[in-house]
């Protein structure tokens, strides 16, 4: 009876080892498959973010960030062409965030200019009203 139990445990351990090996091999195939796909969706999102930042005035108000975003986008394009998809994905993500920072900086700079313009308008109205009263 003991011999039969030991045999079952050995079979179970062997079977368990095979399952783990199959799982490891399957996982590596899945990961290799993911690494082989071009990041076209991320690249499209990044292009949209760069275009949006340009439209918001990023080239005027956040020139450094815009240059970084555009350079990284170009590098991502080259990496995709060379089938270096992980590098392309990373560069594309970095370019997206640089573009988003540029867009926010441009929006903030425009808002600051609008506030200054409004303050100047209020000051002019005050001066005009004081002249009228005298």
Task: Please state which CATH number belongs to domain 39-133.
Answer: 1.20.1270.390
Q: In this structure, how many other beta carbons lie within 10 angstroms of the beta carbon of residue 110?
A: 14
CA 78/CA 50 separation, integer angstroms: 17
For 18-28, the pLDDT digits (tens) are 554 455 455 44
In this predicted structure, what is the pLDDT of residue 29? 47
For 40-49, the pLDDT digits (tens) are 999 999 999 9
Helix axes 85-133, 63-81, angle to 10 degrees: 160
**pTM for the complete prediction?**
0.66
């Amino acid at each position: 009876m003991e011999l039969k139990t030991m045999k079952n445990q050995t079979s179970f351990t062997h079977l368990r080892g095979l399952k783990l090996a199959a799982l490891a091999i399957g996982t590596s195939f899945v990961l290799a498959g993911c690494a082989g796909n071009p990041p076209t969706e991320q690249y499209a999102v990044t292009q949209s973010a760069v275009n949006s930042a340009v439209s918001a005035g990023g080239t005027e108000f956040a020139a450094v960030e815009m240059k970084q975003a555009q350079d990284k986008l170009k590098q991502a394009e080259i990496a995709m062409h060379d089938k270096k998809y992980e590098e392309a994905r990373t560069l594309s993500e970095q370019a997206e965030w640089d573009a988003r920072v540029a867009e926010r900086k441009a929006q903030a700079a425009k808002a600051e200019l609008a506030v200054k313009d409004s303050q100047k308008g209020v000051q002019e109205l005050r001066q005009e009203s004081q002249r009228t009263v005298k």
